[in-house]
Amino acid sequence: MANRKILFAVDLQKDFIDGTLTVPGAASVLPVIDSVKGRFDLVYFTLDWHPVNHCSFREQGGPWPVHCVHHTAGASLPDSVLAGLEEERMRFILKGRRPEREEYGALVDVTAENQDLFQPGDEVVICGIASEYCVFESLKNLYALSQAVGFSVKVFLEGTAKFENYDAICAFMAENDIPVWKAE
């Protein structure tokens, strides 16, 4: 399938929506994302998938409360996020699995040579939770990979929740001529 449209949905997990690390406005981006996901050939979901002793947790000296512990309800996606998507159109990308390593970006160790997610000519649209951390770092990963593989990247800001602002992600977009994707 040439020139695929891929929605890259970052961390739409219950702990970020109304759980232990709630991001303001996260619940409001779900219906926005749900309304457009059917326009894409593929939907890739990233998931924080932390062990109980992850370095990002306050109990381990990190900045965050315990969140998205693998195999817990807080790490799961709401039913609405998956509703209406055929299994063959979905991929799940786990991150933050090593207890000693923080991974805000979903594609930290992914290179053009070791990946099967993207092809030349693909259009990848990123959205999710939260703008300042995992969406921003995943965008940086995606952009670097797009330069090596030959696909385009856009940001669906309307489908992206933030703690405080979009400043960092918008500055990166401007510096690298990454356009905003609109749900029109």
Q: How far is CA 38 from the centre of its chain?
A: 17
- Does 48 qualify as catalytic in the annotation? yes
User: Which residue in 50, 54, 154, 162 is the catalytic one?
Assistant: 50
| Active-site residue, from 95, 122, 131, 154 | 95
Residues 29, 49, 87: CA angle, nearest 5 degrees:
65
**Is 170 designated active site?**
no
- At residue 26's C-alpha, the angle toward residues 22 and 28, to 5°, is 140
Residue 146 known to be catalytic: no
Candidate list 14, 37, 67, 154, residue with the active-site label = 67
Point out the catalytic residue in the list 15, 48, 103, 122. Answer: 48
37 counts as catalytic: no
Strand runs labelled E in 18-171: 42-48, 90-95, 123-129, 152-161
Confirm whether 95 is a catalytic residue. Answer: yes
Handedness of CA 90, 87, 66, 17 (dihedral sign): positive
45 contacts: CB under 8 Å, gap ≥ 6: 9, 12, 77, 81, 90, 91, 92, 93
Which one of the listed residues 9, 106, 134, 161 is annotated catalytic? 134
Catalytic member of 15, 34, 102, 103: 102
Catalytic residue among 68, 106, 127, 130: 130
The verdict on whether 134 is a catalytic residue reads yes
Which position among 15, 34, 37, 56 bears the catalytic label? 56
102 as an active site residue: the answer is: yes
Task: State how far the Cα of 111 lies from the Cα of 79, in Å rounded to an integer.
Answer: 31
Would you call 50 a catalytic residue per the annotation? Answer: yes
Q: Give the neighbor-by-neighbor strand order of the sheet with 90-95.
A: 90-95, 42-48, 5-10, 123-129, 152-161
- What residues are annotated to the active site? 11, 48, 50, 56, 67, 95, 102, 130, 134
